[in-house]
Structure 1
Amino acid sequence: MESLLEVKNLSVSFDVYGGEVQAIRDISFEVNKGEAVAIVGESGSGKSVTAQSIMRLNPSPPSRFKGGSIKFEGQELLSLSEKEMQKVRGNKIGMIFQDPMTSLNPTLTVGSQIMEGLIKHENMGSDKAKARAIEMLDLVGIPNSSTRLKQYPHQFSGGMRQRVMIAIALACNPSLLIADEPTTALDVTIQAQIMRVMKELQQKMNTSIILITHDLGVVADVCDRIIVMYAGRIVETGTKWEIFQNPQHPYTRGLLRSLPRLDQKKDEALIPILGTPPDLIKPPEGCSFCARCDEAMKVCVNNDPNLYAIKGSDSHRAACWMLHPCANREVPV
């Protein structure tokens, strides 16, 4: 498959009063055309910073790129000026933010907010932009679109506001859609509807998707590949079937054990991951998950593992010393 986005050795830090927060530490991944990729992990693992770094939305200062590369359609985004980057945002790369109530402008109608990008990026007149906005509201499943176009965000439910955000993000037919926790504030039935809308739109428009979430459960039906992040690093990556059926990193297994299952017995409790993530002002020298890992070894304390390829797979890799050829240990499933 042809690569659309290439992130290589990216490191991003925030200079704060207490020191340097190393939010992203040397991560690399790709997103292919028409592919849906999920980035999962706990709060503070670096998921949203990764998404905002791709869009160049992190304020500087306090943020700064320490190294690495972000290439979109072969173009280096980190070398673009702010004016050049504005031509990419909303046009070639769309983004759905976490909370639609705070992301939408309460003083403007939803129609004017959808039309704004079309007028700016597509050079459409107001009549043509309005027709396109109505078409987008129909596409994301909002009934009476011509009437709803004139309404304000507070007149919509949470699920409908999120659909409006999707319509805004997809109005200019972007090649890449970044969805940052798009279902966090919604109940499970609305979550399922939003994820179904995103899947249908991906198939219709062949848009690549990066889905940022802390919940592995919402990605199973939508994404092709999963990237698991912890403490600013990628600890495991593979297809969704490899991650769900054969997780290789202790952190990934912990995330899956903490999810409710349909075959779970009534008296069977969920198993949480004990402890807390490390302080990224002073990250550990070795494996970042070492202090919370039941399978930690001496080598884990002072040595950070590489991403090791899993036997029998071209796409599955995990950063765990138990996967080193010299470990000679079976990884539990």
Structure 2
Amino acid sequence: MVQNPLLTIKHLSVQFKVHGGIVQAVRDLNLTIEKGKTLAIVGESGCGKSVTCHAVMGLIQKPSGFIPQGEIIFDGLDITQLEKNNTIRGNRIAMIFQDPMTALNPTLTIGEQMIEGVMKHKKLSKQHALDKASEMLTLVGIAEPEKRLSQYPHQFSGGMRQRIVIAMALMSDPDLLIADEPTTALDVTIQAQVLELFEKIQQQTGVSIILITHDLGVVAKIADTIAVMYAGQCIETGNRRDIFYHPQHPYTQGLLASIPRLDMQKDSLKPIEGHPPDLFAPPKGCGFFSRCKKAMRVCKEIPPELSVLTEEHTVLCWLQDSRTQCNV
């Protein structure tokens, strides 16, 4: 059982009012992350990964976006009830946004962009903030930090921009760092360096990390817990061994079967056929029913209940329910 979790998401739902109706982007989500640990949220595009973290950061734009139910408990406090200008978000919780090529303002120097937040949240003087920025650039492996602070984003490579964005998020010494697809725009060599950097930062600072990605291979090394999302729901949660060696949900099994391996024979990749459900009108039963080769009649009509397989391994699937075992 998790002791003193840093962040707990309970029965969270996030919806958006658009021209065609209401999109149920996140549906009754439950997640937990411990202090000093890494939680990876994986799943294909549109499954609700980024929306979940935007809800944690208070970035759901009203009135089109809203949270009809749920709690987000950070260090014992429900932050869904806080005012937008509270000091927790951006201070104790920081976020690295997608695509370092566009995350930085091309008209401002790196130093100007790095010190803005910490001067607001920590009330530091400009010189103290610049000293802090220099320290953070050194932490993420950028040489000559004083010189780099006066340069502009176009003077850096993609990998170095990613390191700068990470350094910006660390400026306020956050307890929780959310990284949204931090390796997507990078080649595999730089991806490995960025992931190693996250490990180094966690060891040195003790920060908890939520890593959002669509690639299970990216999180194989650094994640303590992996949550697999599909159609706005968390359909399987477990540690690395549970997810990679004992996956129980057909969707998780499909994701793993679609990852290329060095020992894999030619043309042996198995894509997941079909398309995710329409979240304007989610299915009554399991969201994966239409794509699942193991689907039963009950899967179409009734939503599955959460099955607890071990202390860390849970699955939202009728195949693991004791009431259907005789039919599997």
**Residue in structure 2 matched with residue 35 of structure 1 by the alignment:** 37
Aligned-partner residue type, residue 145 of structure 1: P
**Where in structure 2 are the equivalents of 1:132-171 lying within 5 Å?**
132-171=132-171
Name the residue aligned to 2:26. Answer: 24
1:114-142 CA-partner distances (Å, limit 9, x unpaired): 11122111211111111111110010011
Does residue 195 (structure 1) correspond to residue 192 (structure 2)? The answer is: no
Alpha-carbon shift at residue 286 of structure 1 (Å): 0.7
The one-letter code of the counterpart of 2:111 is G
Q: Secondary structure of 1:229's match?
A: strand
Is contact 1:322-1:329 (8 Å) kept?
Answer: no
Q: Are the counterparts in 2 of residues 38 and 210 from structure 1 also a CA contact under 8 Å?
A: yes
In structure 2, what is the Cα distance between the partners aligned to 1:42 and 1:95?
Answer: 20
1:180 corresponds to: 180
Distance 1:128 1:56 in 2: 28
Report how far residue 90 of structure 1 moved.
Answer: 2.0
Shift of 1:154: 1.2
User: Structure 1: where are the runs of 5+ without partners?
Assistant: none
Higher mean alpha-carbon deviation, 206-215 vs 128-137, is at 128-137
User: What's the CA shift for 1:83?
Assistant: 2.0
Partner Cα distance (1:197, 1:55) in 2:
23
Residue identity (%): 53
The equivalent of 1:294 in structure 2 is 293
Q: Which moved more, 1:191-200 or 1:102-111?
A: 102-111
SS in 1 for 2:311: coil
For residue 108 of structure 2, give the secondary structure of its aligned residue in structure 1: coil
Q: Tell me the amino acid that sits aligned with residue 296 of structure 1.
A: A
What is the alpha-carbon distance in structure 2 between the residues aligned to residue 207 and residue 151 of structure 1? 28
CA distance in 2, matches of 1:112, 1:234: 39
Deviations along 1:55-87, one digit per CA (max 9) or x if unpaired, are 011211210111010111111111111122xx1
2:173 match: secondary structure: coil
| 1:76-101 Cα shifts (integer Å, max 9, x gaps) | 111111122xx122210010000122
1:66 corresponds to: 68
Q: Quote the Cα distance in structure 2 between the aligned partners of 1:198 and 1:315.
A: 23
SS of the residue 1:318 aligns to: strand
Q: Which letter does structure 2 place at the counterpart of 1:281?
A: F
- Paired with 2:238 and 2:326, the residues of 1 have a C-alpha distance of 21
Structure 2, unaligned runs of 5 or more: none
Q: Matched residue of 1:64: which SS?
A: strand
Cα deviations by residue, 1:32-70 (Å, 9 ceiling, x for unpaired): 100100000000000000000000112112101110101
Name the SS of the counterpart of 1:117 in structure 2: helix
* Alignment match, 1:319: 316
Separation of aligned partners in 2, 1:54 and 1:263: 40
State whether residues 136 and 167 of structure 1, in contact with CA within 8 Å, keep that contact through their aligned partners in structure 2. Answer: yes
Question: In the aligned structure 1, how far is the partner of 2:181 from the partner of 2:326?
Answer: 36
Structure 1 position 329, deviation (Å) = 5.6
Contact 1:109 1:150 in 2 (8 A): yes
Q: TM-score, normalised by structure 2?
A: 0.97
> SS of 1:315's equivalent?
coil
**1:269 corresponds to which residue?**
268
Q: Write out per-residue CA displacement over residues 123-166 of structure 1, whole angstroms, 9 at most, x where no aligned residue.
A: 11111111111110010011121111111111111111110010
| Corresponding residue of 1:90 | 90
Q: Report the CA distance shift for 1:109/1:286 in structure 2 as closer, same or farther (over 3 A).
A: same
TM-score normalised by structure 1 residue count: 0.96
Offset from partner CA, 1:12-49 (integer Å, 9 cap, x none):
10000100100000011111100100000000000000
CA distance in 1, matches of 2:213, 2:85: 30
Quote how far apart the aligned CAs of 1:330 are.
Answer: 9.8
What's the counterpart of residue 215 of structure 1? 215
